Structures are given as structure tokens and as C-alpha cells.
Amino acid sequence: MDRRALLTDREREVLRGDATDVKNPKEYRSKIRSRLKKRLDQLETDIDLLDKHEPELAADLYDRVCGDQERRLARLEREVDELRKEINNNE
């Protein structure tokens, strides 16, 4: 069995509109959106960890999700944020 990335198979089915057994699709979609937002927060934490401890995996992730140019931009934005935090901590 494959593990999910951001969405479960069931969530994918509901979001595509293929789930015919859902009583209140709008409410279910809202729950899925809420869960996904929490997962995105976790994803951000995981990406920071990969950047720090597994840069090759982080680069692979960026390439798959963003492409080369977007990956470089995302990395620069994170580095700028880190520098800002460091400057603010030293003031």
C-alpha cells in the first residue's frame, strides 16, 4: 500500500467529486481543507528540516514541486528570512 503525500485516496476522491456516498460534500470538503492546511504547516517544518540536514532531498523536492528557478527563489527567500531572524535576535 502506498503512503499518502498530502491527501489520502479518500480525500482525493471527495475533492474530485467522485465520492457518491458523502451526505454533505460541502462540509466534507471543508474538513479536508482544514486538515490540509495543518499538513501544509507540517510540510513547511519538514522542508526546513530537509534544507538543514538533507539538502539533496530538499533539492529533489524543490525540483519536483517548483522546478529549478522556483527552487532557487524559494531557497533565497528562506535564507533572507533566516538572516532577518538572526539580525532581529542580535538587536
Does the pLDDT value for residue 1 go beyond 60? Answer: no
Residue 39: pLDDT band (50, 70, 90) is: very high
Does the pLDDT value for residue 33 go beyond 60? Answer: yes
Residue 82 has a pLDDT of 87
Cell 535576535, residue located: 89
- CA 32 – CA 29 distance, rounded (Å): 5
Percent of the chain, pLDDT > 70? 97
Does the pLDDT value for residue 2 go beyond 70? Answer: no
- CA 58 – CA 50 distance, rounded (Å): 5
**78 against 35, higher pLDDT:** 35
Grid cell, residue 59, equals 533539492
- 59, with CB counted inside 10 A (0-12, 13-18, 19+), is middle
